[in-house]
Amino acid sequence: MVSRLLAIATPGETVNTFPPERKNKRIKYRRLMLNRSASAKASRGFCDLCVQLARSEELIGNNDRWKLFEDSIQFFSNVRNVVIPLRKDISVAADHVLRVNGKLYVPLLKLNRGGEQAKLEVQGAVVSNANPSIYIEGDIFPLSSGQLSFIQFVVQACLFVENGTLVLLDEPETHLHPNFISEFVRILDRLLKSTGSVAVIATHSAYFVREVPRTQVLVFKGDGDGRVSIQNPRLKTFGADVGTISYFVFEDEITNGLVEDILDRFPQNPEARNSLLRELESELSADVLMYLRRKLNVEEDNEEN
């Protein structure tokens, strides 16, 4: 049974995909945003959410939410170098606080470290509406949009997920590097298993589709009469080539004008065609070669008929 609904939107058009939260609601509903504007009026600042997560004593299964976060974020490369800013000096001893160019920072994973007084003072000094940064070789650098979206997802999901949550994600691939997508799915899968929850993802990314078996993929396809059919793809999607998924699942044409020009220049003689294809093998991708062979075979069949 669904106990809570989490709708997660990314920057751009998907921000308006989900309705805003309402005071009177029949089910616990929260809309989360993964954007760089952490000080948006409708949401708490990112670092403020990190503090809330660190202070939470609520258990999810046998672990508190901070432990769930630590276990989930480990898949993020360089996570130990992610830091959040502090707005003032602290009076208690805290050797994990960094001073860089006259400003103070605390590593995100050490936000809950130290004695009770040290934790309270460090957490109270956090700049609530700031974004995290990354500490590399003694200097501070901003995170990329993809890194920021990734970390925001983990923090907010760990903070607001409950047992039996339905998680809705609309095009989470926005701003995510393909390398992050695999890690994103691993974290989501761990959260869902830990809480007995499920997720529904609307995506146009072959990189997301290749992370799940075809039984978990539904393709929505409309026709000219306005009817929509829903079915599983015939292609075995888990671990499949992204080019193959793009063609067989999303029906994306892999060709462009130059490929069509190459096709127009192919000789009519079959032996000459095969010779030219062999010459092109070192220059063209496997997907384009498959497309050319398929088109040439169709033309030959039409000529024979």
Q: For residue range 45-71, list pLDDT tens digits in order.
A: 889 999 999 999 988 878 889 998 998
Pick from 250, 265, 281: which residue ends a domain? Answer: 250
Say yes or no: 172 and 38 in one domain.
Answer: yes
Asked if pLDDT for residue 16 goes beyond 80, the answer is: no
Say yes or no: 52 and 181 in one domain.
Answer: yes
Say yes or no: 164 and 52 in one domain.
Answer: yes
**pLDDT value at position 27?**
82
Pick from 250, 271, 286: which residue ends a domain? Answer: 250
Mean pLDDT to the nearest integer, 191-212: 92
* Mean pLDDT value across the chain: 84
Q: Is position 285 within any domain?
A: yes
Say yes or no: 52 and 130 in one domain.
Answer: yes
Q: Which residue has the higher pLDDT, 256 or 27?
A: 27
Q: Is position 143 within any domain?
A: yes
**pLDDT value at position 200?**
96
**pLDDT band at residue 2 using 50, 70 and 90 as cut-offs:** confident
**pLDDT band at residue 13 using 50, 70 and 90 as cut-offs:** low
Are the CB atoms for 26 and 187 separated by under 8 Å? no
Q: What is the DSSP letter of 103?
A: E
Q: Is position 59 within any domain?
A: yes
Q: Is position 74 within any domain?
A: yes
Q: Is position 63 within any domain?
A: yes
Say yes or no: 137 and 227 in one domain.
Answer: no
Asked if pLDDT for residue 41 goes beyond 50, the answer is: no
**pLDDT value at position 63?**
83
Sequence-separated (6 or more) residues with CB below 8 Å from residue 65: 53, 56, 58, 158, 159
Say yes or no: 183 and 222 in one domain.
Answer: no
Q: Is position 302 within any domain?
A: no
Say yes or no: 127 and 265 in one domain.
Answer: no
**pLDDT value at position 278?**
85
Distances in whole angstroms, Cα of residue 14 to Cα of each of 7, 18, 198: 11, 8, 20
Asked if pLDDT for residue 118 goes beyond 80, the answer is: yes
- Global pTM reads 0.76
The Cα 27–Cα 102 span in angstroms is: 47
Mean pLDDT to the nearest integer, 162-188: 88
Pick from 171, 202, 233: which residue ends a domain? Answer: 202
Are the CB atoms for 187 and 156 separated by under 8 Å? no
pLDDT tens track for 215-242 = 999 999 888 788 999 999 988 999 998 8
Say yes or no: 288 and 169 in one domain.
Answer: no
Q: Is position 301 within any domain?
A: no
Say yes or no: 159 and 279 in one domain.
Answer: no
Asked if pLDDT for residue 29 goes beyond 50, the answer is: yes
Say yes or no: 234 and 164 in one domain.
Answer: no
Q: How many domains does the chain have?
A: 3
Are the CB atoms for 192 and 199 separated by under 8 Å? yes
**Proportion of the chain above pLDDT 90, given as a percent:** 35
Helices (H), 2-104: 46-55, 65-73
Say yes or no: 184 and 162 in one domain.
Answer: yes
Question: What range does the domain containing 261 cover?
Answer: 257-296
Say yes or no: 155 and 213 in one domain.
Answer: no
**pLDDT value at position 252?**
61
Q: Which residue has the higher pLDDT, 267 or 139?
A: 139
Task: For residue 141, list its beta bridge partners.
Answer: 134
**pLDDT value at position 34?**
78
The Cα 194–Cα 190 span in angstroms is: 6
Q: Is position 305 within any domain?
A: no
